[in-house]
């Protein structure tokens, strides 16, 4: 279940600090953007959200290197980091956030199973975090996407808390 209080806190922190945020989502398909924009006053802090489901869009619009996509795939720390960096640059935001991974029920492999999620955060530095939201093999697509969106909000809130302009 999504905690709107956490999203409200994120928007309040961004407002208090005069920060802007932007998101680029693959796995979550706009859920992060939806969560942020569901909060009154989000227009003061939310620059844009892009759903970049295809690799072509990740590469041509967001700026993820084709070499990164070829070598590491779209389901990787490297891609999540480049996505977050790209959206931060495109939007001119203080924080860029990205989501990518495998929600299933198909599409997973032994080395990249269903439930594998990467979330990128870019402020003054860009990084990405790896998560396993498979929940004991249940692999509920919507639940994986929801957990990823919740975690992305939490990471953005943490980044905003420690970011100074």
Per-residue pLDDT of 12-53, as tens digits, reads: 999 999 999 999 999 999 999 999 999 999 999 999 999 999
- What distance lies between CA 37 and its chain's CA centroid? 15
- Domain CATH code at residue 151: 3.90.950.20
Cα distance between residue 85 and residue 127, in whole Å? 9
pLDDT in tens, 3-20: 789 999 999 999 999 999
Q: Listing from the earlier edge strand, what are the strands of the sheet with 21-25?
A: 46-51, 21-25, 95-101, 116-122, 126-132
Q: How many Cβ atoms are within 10 Å of 76's Cβ, its own excluded?
A: 21
Tell me whether residue 150 is exposed, middle or buried, using C-beta atoms within 10 angstroms of its C-beta: 0 to 12, 13 to 18, 19 or more.
buried
Is the pLDDT at 135 greater than 90? The verdict is: no
Arithmetic mean of pLDDT, 89-104: 97
Domain that holds residue 146: 4-162
Is the pLDDT at 90 greater than 80? The verdict is: yes
Q: Helix %, strand %, coil % for the chain, to 5?
A: 45, 20, 35
SS3 146: helix
* CB-based contacts of 17, cutoff 8 Å, min separation 6: 160, 163, 164, 165
Kindly report the pTM of this predicted structure: 0.96
Instruction: Give the count of domains, the chain.
Output: 1
């Amino acid at each position: 279940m999504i905690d709107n209080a956490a999203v409200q806190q994120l928007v309040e922190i961004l407002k208090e600090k005069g920060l802007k945020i932007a998101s680029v989502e693959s796995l979550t398909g706009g859920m992060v953007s939806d969560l942020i924009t569901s909060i009154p006053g989000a227009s003061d802090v939310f620059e844009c959200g892009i759903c970049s489901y295809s690799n072509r869009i990740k590469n041509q619009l967001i700026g993820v290197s084709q070499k990164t996509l070829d070598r590491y795939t779209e389901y990787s720390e490297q891609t999540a980091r480049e996505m977050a960096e790209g959206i931060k640059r495109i939007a001119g935001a203080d924080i860029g956030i990205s989501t990518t991974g495998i929600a299933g029920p198909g599409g997973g492999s032994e080395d990249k199973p269903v439930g594998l999620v990467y979330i990128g955060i870019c402020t003054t530095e860009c990084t990405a975090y790896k998560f396993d939201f498979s929940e004991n093999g249940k692999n509920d697509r919507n639940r994986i996407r929801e957990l990823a969106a919740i975690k992305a909000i939490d990471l953005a809130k943490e980044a905003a808390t420690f970011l100074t302009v």
